[in-house]
Each structure stands twice: as structure tokens, then as C-alpha cells.
Amino acid sequence: MAEQLDEEEEQIIDFAIQRSLQDSGLPLCTKWSTMETSSNDNQMILAAIDQGDMATLKALHGQRKAFTETDRRGWLPFHRASVQPNAEILETVLLALHELSMEEVTADGETALTLATQAGLLENVKMLLQHGASPHNTNSKNESPLQLAVKVNSYDMVLELILGGAFVEQVCLKKWTATHEAAKVGCADILMLLLRHGGKVTARDGHGVTPLGIAAEYGHADILEILIENGGDVTAQATNGDTVLYDATGSGNLDCILLLLRHGANPNVPSFAFQLPIHRAAYEGHYLALKTLIPITTKKAIRESGMSPVHSAADGGHAICLNYLIEKGFDVNSLLGDHISSNYSDMRKTALYFAVCNGDVTCAEMLLEAGAKPDLDPLLCLLVAVRASHYELVRLLLAHGANVNCFFTAISNTMFPTALQYCLHDEIMFRLLLNNGYHVESCFQCEHNFCIQTESYTTTDDTCSYFNKVTFCDFISVRWLKHLAGWLVRILLDYVVHVPICPKLQKILQMQNEWPEICDILRNPRHLKHLCRLVIRKRISLRRLNNPRFMSEFPFPPALKNYLIYKEYNLYGQMEI
């Protein structure tokens, strides 16, 4: 996470620098003008630098102007020479032009010294310092040569720059010091060198993170120990409240975690986002870190954070950590605190919701088997799974008691259960809901009194219940759904005896190809076995009907059980086979 933020921050910094230079009207390259077409002498110089041709370079010493021409990148010949492995080439180029200040920059804001340092060329760095290059001048990201030398993990270059006068505590745009960089790289020798020359273990970057936090984040236990021995504060918190122990937990390095705990780090201190180290361990899937933190993290700290590590493990999709938390007795039905839940637009509450949103069948099944309730969130897990067309999650949720006839009225208050709205184009999902007890009759209830095909009437009491609710006939009559009406109604009729078709719905159906078949079904008696199936299904609760274990033990012949559960219409089951 920190690496991703650093990359994003670097991109923003680069963009800001470019815009700043453009707005101020300053050139993006050196003070030397770029030639539209480089001279022949310049081309010969560049070729000689690339080929390591000393004789040609010496022969061209008199062509001073050619040594001041820049290429399209804004590089002078001495910039190109600074990244060549032969230091004699660089020296030859430098002797050819005494007008150079040694601090000319490329279009990208790099000096010759920063280029040589990034290339890891020690002799070139020495040569540039001897010719007066400043160890303090930075590149466009405000990175000093010393920081760049640490980044490439070169002890000798770091020493050479320090002896050349480099300031150890010089910061870049992110207020990152060479000590921070050494903690990230993980080189103990470089770190000790920096500390001997004034590096501070308490220095904070732009996010308030100390070198201790960086070493912990990147899992360098040896660096961490050196910093602690030199006065590093294990209780330090960054600007966002992240502790050093929280950073160490993110790396998953158990040695770092144990070292910090031995020196007094507190696992019960949350970040300003109410995150504890145990949450980080569960989210990142660091099993050993989680095992270490569970016994020393208090229930009070977890409760006050407003979030269970079960939520974190489910959100991170780490089944091993989730299973361990369940074994240790953590409540799978723990709800997010309001201050956490309000950060999500769907106001989610449960760990199961995280698993369903992630499409994580393994974690969802684990939670359900451990007793997770599927109906505790404002937006029910079943509706999320239906909308995502995740058949296996829908099957799992229904098998563990999810209410197929649930309503979500925040968007539209319908007479029929909400799930149907999310699968109008998906017969597999549509059948899956219907087979598991969707209340089909509610799709044929409306305020239109006279029903032509069945010659049935609705009462005044029925009409009152439709007030301010969207009926199926109104819902399906919109222009972009009309073409689905015949197909939907035909499927719905497989799950009812006789239903009233109101004038409004009939008018739509008459324009559909399925209308003749619908008329035939409505005007003729239904098969006896179909009627018996509906009667028996009404005698069995939905929870039992949708439970495969219960149905497998039901004292009916297999053929009859298959007929009761509409196996002939189980398109998802057929697809699995």
C-alpha cells in the first residue's frame, strides 16, 4: 500500500514540477539552447562518448560550441558522459569545456551528479565532485545525490558524497531523508554511516513517518534494532495515527513484530482510521502475526475500534486467517460501528457482506457455516449477489436462510420482492430465485380491479395495500422493459396455479410472442402433479426447502424430491454438470 502511495505521489510531484516550469515560462532543459539539428561535430562527440573513443574526443576539444549543444532530452555531452562506465571519458569531456557550472540540468531536471549516482558509477561521482559538482543540488524530485546513492545501495558512494560535503539530513519534496531511504533499502552499514555523520532516527517525512516506521513497513528487523538502539521511538505515530507496530504488521515480518513488542510497542493503539495491528494482520493475511496479536489485543480495544478482525479477514479474502479467528471464538455476526459503516455508501455492517461484495465463495461459505446471518445489512447480501450474477453465492445464501422475498425500498418500493429487478435478463438467476421460493403471486397483484383472462376481482382492502407501491404490471410497462414481459410472465406461470392478469399487463402481453401459450395455460386446468407440488411446497418452510441437507434427508423418493425442488428448471445445476 505504501509503495503504491509513493508511486502515485511521485507522479503528482512530477506533474506539478512540469506545470510549474511551464507556467513560469522557464525552459525545461539547461541554459544551453537546444539545436533543432545538431552539428556534425556534436554528433561525432556523442558517438565517441558512447563508443569510449578517447582519441576522437581529444581531437574535438577545440570545437567548444559542439560541447554546448543539447539533444532532445536536454542532455549536454557531459550528461551523457556521466552515465558511461569509463570515468576517463567523463574527465576528457569536462576538460573540453571550462564554461560549465557542473549544475546544468536535463529536461527531466537531472544534474550530471544525480545521473552518475543513479547509474551507480562511483568513479564518475568522484570525478564530478573533484570538478566542483555540488552534492547539495537535487533533481526535479528534490532528491539529493546522497539519497540517490542510498537508493542504489552503494556504501562507497554514500561515503564519498559525505566526505564531499553532502548534508545527511537534506530532504526531498516528501521530506524524506537519506536515513529514511536507508531504512527502506535495509543496508545496516549505510545506516550506521549516516547515523555517525548526523543522521537522525527521529526525523519525520511528509506523512510524519520516522525511519523506524519505514524499516518496520519493509520488514527489516536488523535495521529496526539499530534504530531502536540509537534512540528510535517504538511508540511513534504517523500523521494518520499509524503506529510502528501497525507498519510492521503490514509487512508480516514476525521478527519485527516481536522486537517492537519486546521494546514496549502497544498493540491496542488504533490509527486515526480506528485500525489496530490485528486488523492489518487479518486483512493482509499474515497468519503468524495474527496468532501473535490475538492473545495481546484486548476485547475493549477491538470493540472501541468499531470493527472486528473477522471483517478484515473477510475483506482481505484470507480464508486461513478467517478460519483461525472463528476457531478462536470471534463473533461472525459482529457489526461495524456506525463511524466505520458510514464510510461505505452501502452502509455495510457484516463480515459476510465483505465476502459477498468480493465474490469470495470460500470465505462466504466459511462464515455461513459458522452461523453468519445473511440478513443483517441494510442492503441484503442476497441482493448484492443477485445483482452481481454470482450464482454460487446466491445458492449458498439461500441454502443458509437468506430471505428470497426480501425488499429494499430505498430505491423503489415495489409490491414484488426486490431480487427480481436484478435478474430480468438472466434466466439462470431468475429460475434460481423462483425454485427457492420467490413469491410469484405478488407479481400479479395490482390495483386494476377487473382481470380479463381469469375473470377475477380484487377487493377494496387489497387496493389499499398498493398505495404508493410499484406493481409488476406498472414496472414492466416501461418502454425499455416491455419486450421482456411475455418471457417473464411465461416463466412465472410455472410456479403458480391460476393468477389474475390485469388489463394493463394483458395489453402488453398481447404484443408478445408468448401470448398464445400464456392464454393456453390460463384457460386450461393445470396438471394434478403440478398442483400437488405447489401444495406440498407451501407446507414446507422456505428455510427447509432451500436447505440441501434437510431435503436430502426428507422421507420422499429421489424423483419426488427432485420434482418438489423444480430440478427440471435448475439451469445453474445443469450448467455445473
Query: At what angle are helices 361-369 and 391-399 packed, to 10 degrees?
Result: 0
Cell numbers at 327, concatenated: 476457531
Average pLDDT in the chain: 88
Position 32 scores a pLDDT of: 41
**The predicted structure's pLDDT at residue 148:** 96
Describe the crossing of helices 221-229 and 188-196 by its angle, rounded to 10 degrees: 20
Q: What is the pLDDT of residues 456-467, one digit of tens each?
A: 334 344 444 556
Residue 141 in this model has a pLDDT that exceeds 70:
yes
Q: What percent of the chain has pLDDT over 70?
A: 89
pLDDT of residue 326: 98
Question: What are the tens digits of pLDDT across the range 63-77?
Answer: 888 888 888 889 999
CA gap 61, 50 in Å, rounded: 17
Dig out the grid coordinates for 93 from the structure. Answer: 569531456
Note the pLDDT of residue 27: 36
Angstrom distance (rounded) from CA 424 to CA 415: 16
Q: What is the pLDDT of residue 12?
A: 57
Average pLDDT over residues 85-101: 86
With bands split at pLDDT 50, 70 and 90, how would you rate the model's confidence at 434? very high
Mean pLDDT of the 274-291 span: 97
Confidence at residue 335, expressed as pLDDT on a 0 to 100 scale: 97
Structure confidence by residue, pLDDT tens digits, 538-550: 888 777 777 777 7
Confidence of residue 232 (pLDDT cuts 50, 70, 90): very high
Helix (H, G, I), strand (E, B) or coil at 128: helix
Q: Are 267 and 293 in contact (CB under 8 A)?
A: yes
Please give the pLDDT value at position 14: 58
**Band (257; pLDDT cuts 50, 70, 90):** very high
Q: What is the mean pLDDT of residues 527-542?
A: 87
- Burial (CB < 10 A; 0-12, 13-18, 19+), residue 317, is middle
477 touches 508 (CB < 8 A): yes
| Beta-bridge partner residues of 450 | 457
106-138, pLDDT tens digit by residue? 999 999 999 999 999 999 999 999 999 999 999
Residue 273, pLDDT score: 94
**Residue range 288-313: average pLDDT?**
97
Q: What is the mean pLDDT of residues 356-385?
A: 97
Tell me the per-residue pLDDT of 6-64, one tens digit each, with 9 for 90 and over.
Answer: 555 665 555 554 544 344 333 334 444 444 457 888 889 889 888 988 888 888 887 88
Distances from the Cα of 139 to the Cαs of 189, 265, 289, 413, 504, in angstroms? 25, 37, 40, 60, 73
pLDDT at 452: 40
Crossing angle of helices 87-96 and 122-130, in 10° steps, is: 20
412-421 pLDDT tens trace: 789 999 999 9
User: How far apart are alpha carbons 377 and 411 in whole angstroms?
Assistant: 16
User: What confidence score (pLDDT) does residue 556 get?
Assistant: 78
pLDDT attached to residue 16 = 54
Q: How far is CA 43 from CA 61, 191, 282, in A?
A: 14, 43, 59
The widest CA-to-CA distance across the chain, in whole angstroms, is 108
Please say whether the beta carbons of 218 and 186 come within 8 A. Answer: yes
Q: Which three cell numbers stand for residue 480?
A: 425499455
Under 8 Å between Cβ of 351 and 372: yes
Angle at 47 between CA 43 and CA 52, to 5 degrees: 150
Q: Which percentage of the chain shows pLDDT scores above 90?
A: 68
- The mean pLDDT of 432-441, rounded to a whole number, is 93
Residue-level pLDDT at 465: 54
Cα distance between residue 234 and residue 236, in whole Å: 6
